[in-house]
Amino acid sequence: MATKFVPVAPPQIIEGVYSTDQHARLLKLVRDKGPWEMILAQHFQSPEEVLATTSGTMPEGFTPTWEMFMSPVFRGYLAKGATALYPEIEDCFWNSKFTDLVRNYWGAEYARPENMLFNIQGPCRGSETPHVDATNFRGVDSLNAPVWLMNMMVKSGLFDRWRCKKAQVITWYYRGQVGGGFNYWPNGPQAEPAQIKAPMWGRAVVVENEMMYHTAEATGPSAMRWPDGLNIKSRMRSAPDSDGWQVVNGDTVIQDIPAEEFRLLLHWGADIYMDYNELKRALDHTDDISKDQVFDTLIADMRARGLTFEVPTDPLTDQKFIALLTRTYDPGKPAIFPPEPEEALAA
Ligand SMILES: [Fe+2]
């Protein structure tokens, strides 16, 4: 049985979660500290690994390419491992309003801010492969394992006992006229999608994105959605002499993005503990799982399903093995998509 991808509670939409001053400081940081790398470049070693974290699967023997998954969306971190990386936005990270929201969302006693990041983009096509966010397990987490492995652990449904509970507050700032919303599947990938519509300025959702398929809606004028020369090493930065932005290859500007086509997403994530016992179990490491246990469990489960395969010497990087796991545990691609955004209205 594959996991049922449904969040612990329906996503809650709220407005104005950051103050004007907080937003200004966050934006200044994004402008000043770039250029920022593409999301894909930061999280994956190969296109096969990307495939393992999205929905859908490919025929055996098919070789995926970076271009299949690449999109001009760029990312930077504001906090990692419960540590704010920039003192000037510490109040945004250590945010009692947010901890309160996510405790209530889960009905939990405790929440601890864990990470904070931003995605920035100009015009961009929509994704046909919505994803769930990477989660952590007690003993196997982003500090010692690749994103795809934890994703596979969720999809298999075999490691729920060790899965860390999480919640996010995701906030958008986008004033463009075409698309730019948030598409999500709150009742599972085979059910009807829902959509948070742009333009939005400080609109946020409280959500468990590890258990809910989601993706950005296509954004901006379609003619601008793929800058010429875009590659996995392209980066994004603020324009030096305007309030706009630029996509660059090294020092070469391949696209100018006006401020009104700039979309900022702020992701704030917390660890959740239902009660003191659960917190203790995590802090004391009395019930952790190891990567060896994970692979032993996956291999035993696939054998029990009647699959025949060679056990790889390094399952962490063996692309044939990753592809086999993907085919075995894929929960199915979302079947129904919201309509593409209207462009005529913006002309
Ligand atoms: Fe996501």
Q: In the chain, what are the domain boundaries?
A: 12-337
CA of 184 to the centre of ligand 1 (A): 10
For the chain, how far is it from start to end, CA to CA, in angstroms? 48
Instruction: Measure the CA–CA gap between 268 and 253, rounded to whole angstroms.
Output: 30
Asked whether the bond before 199 is cis by omega within 30 degrees of 0, the reply is yes
What pLDDT score was predicted for residue 347? Answer: 47
CA distance 49 to 319: 8
For residue 35, cis peptide bond before it (omega within 30 degrees of 0): yes
311 CA → ligand 1 middle, Å: 31
166 CA distance to ligand 1 centroid (A)?
Answer: 13
| d(CA 334, ligand 1 centre) in Å | 15
What spacing in Å lies between the alpha carbon of 314 and ligand 1's midpoint?
A: 28
pLDDT in tens, 135-175: 899 999 988 998 889 989 999 999 999 999 999 999 999 99
Homologous superfamily (CATH) of 12-337 is q2cbj1_9rhob like domain (2.60.120.620)
Structure tokens at 82: 């419960």
DSSP class per residue in 4-39: P---SS--EEEE--S-HHHHHHHHHHHHHS--EEBH
C-alpha radius of gyration, the chain, whole number:
20
**Quick count: other Cβ atoms within 10 Å of Cβ 60?**
9
Average pLDDT, the chain: 92
Could you tell me the distance, in angstroms and rounded to a whole number, from the CA of residue 134 to the centre of ligand 1? 8
Q: Which of 66-75, 90-99, 112-121 has the lowest mean pLDDT?
A: 66-75
pLDDT of 228 strictly over 70: yes
Q: On the CB side of 308, how many CA atoms lie within 13 Å of its CA?
A: 0
